[in-house]
């Protein structure tokens, strides 16, 4: 009877030790995930402020998105080149230092006139999902500084 009790106690102690190790590992993994998430912004959740240099770039567009020289339509847009790359929690693409500025009209003209200079802009950051974005990240609803 004593031998059975001692064996049961050892099994119970081993189970408790295993549970403690499993909990510790879960806490460490959770901290690592939280730290990684803190380095990314929650783009769809609200506005972000980004600082970088405005560049105007042309990429091949439809129909093949391969070469303007071979007949693809040129697509010219404004991009923000960041000194410090960012990522968004919703996109698994990782960090990027290139952001497509989704602007038109007066906003486009205001930013176009500031090509080659550092600007601070505000807007909603999304993952570049369409082939026309030509960048991993897209900033929409852009507020252009005066």
For strand 137-143 and strand 118-127, is the pairing parallel, antiparallel, or unpaired?
A: antiparallel
What is the token pair recorded at 86?
A: 């960012």
Q: What is the pLDDT of residues 12-33, one digit of tens each?
A: 555 545 554 444 444 444 443 3
* Same domain, residue pair 125 and 106: yes
Q: Which residues contact 126 (CB under 8 A, 6 or more apart)?
A: 43, 44, 88, 90, 137, 138, 139, 140
Domain count within the chain: 2
* Same domain, residue pair 69 and 92: yes
* Same domain, residue pair 104 and 138: yes
Q: What is the pLDDT of residues 107-118, one digit of tens each?
A: 999 999 999 999
* Same domain, residue pair 113 and 47: yes
Q: What is the pLDDT of residues 35-74, one digit of tens each?
A: 344 458 766 667 899 999 999 999 999 999 999 999 999 9
Q: What is the pLDDT of residues 115-132, one digit of tens each?
A: 999 999 999 998 888 777
pTM of the predicted structure, to 2 decimals:
0.69
- Structural domain for 31, as ranges: 1-38
* Same domain, residue pair 27 and 54: no
* Same domain, residue pair 102 and 134: yes
* Same domain, residue pair 93 and 22: no
* Same domain, residue pair 112 and 73: yes
């Amino acid at each position: 009877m004593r031998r059975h009790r001692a064996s049961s106690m050892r099994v119970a102690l081993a189970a408790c030790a295993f549970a403690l190790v499993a909990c510790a590992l879960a806490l460490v993994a959770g901290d690592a995930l939280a730290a990684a998430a803190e380095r990314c912004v929650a783009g769809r959740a609200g506005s972000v402020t980004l600082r970088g240099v405005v560049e105007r770039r042309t990429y091949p567009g439809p129909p093949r998105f391969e070469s303007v020289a071979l007949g693809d339509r040129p697509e010219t847009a404004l991009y923000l080149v960041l000194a410090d790359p960012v990522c968004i929690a919703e996109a698994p693409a990782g960090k990027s230092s290139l952001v497509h500025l989704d602007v038109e009209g007066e906003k486009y003209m205001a930013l176009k006139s500031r090509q080659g200079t550092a600007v601070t802009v505000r807007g909603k950051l999304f993952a570049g999902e369409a082939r026309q974005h030509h960048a991993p990240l897209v900033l929409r609803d852009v507020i252009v500084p005066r």
